């Protein structure tokens, strides 16, 4: 499967995941369902970035402000995640986690 085909396939999958998770957020009320940046990464980001669909982002020392901008506004095949899906504090936590994490073992 080519990269373009993977991206085209993953767009509806990501939309479905975003809708499913955002419906859970609406039910959660004011409490953030996110416990840590690591949890956000595992439950949301890792599905693409650990599977070779999105680029490797851990171990690259990306600035948290850059990560935050990409998450909020999207970039290329990366969808935008609104604050109703990932609150500002959780976004800050995951940006810090990604920025300071070493590269995943076995990945280039």
Q: Which of 96, 98, 10 is nearest to 52 (CA)?
A: 10
Is 42 annotated in the active site? no
Using CB atoms within 10 A of its CB, is residue 39 exposed (0-12), middle (13-18) or buried (19+)? Answer: middle
Among the listed residues 5, 78, 95, 103, the single catalytic one is 78
d(CA 93, CA 108): 24
Among the listed residues 77, 80, 90, 95, the single catalytic one is 77
d(CA 80, CA 59): 22
Is 95 annotated in the active site? no
Q: Which of 11, 20, 13, 32 is nearest to 86 (CA)?
A: 32
Any idea which residues carry the catalytic annotation?
Answer: 77-78
């Amino acid at each position: 499967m080519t990269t373009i085909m993977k991206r085209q396939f993953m767009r509806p999958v990501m939309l479905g995941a975003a809708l499913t998770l955002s419906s859970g957020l609406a039910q959660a009320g004011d409490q953030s369902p996110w416990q840590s940046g690591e949890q956000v990464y595992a439950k949301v980001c890792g599905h693409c970035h650990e599977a070779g669909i999105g680029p490797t982002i851990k171990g690259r020392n990306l600035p948290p402000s850059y990560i935050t901008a990409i998450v909020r506004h999207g970039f290329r095949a990366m969808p935008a995640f609104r604050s109703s899906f990932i609150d500002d504090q959780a976004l800050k936590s995951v940006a810090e986690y990604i920025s300071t994490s070493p590269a995943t073992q076995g990945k280039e």
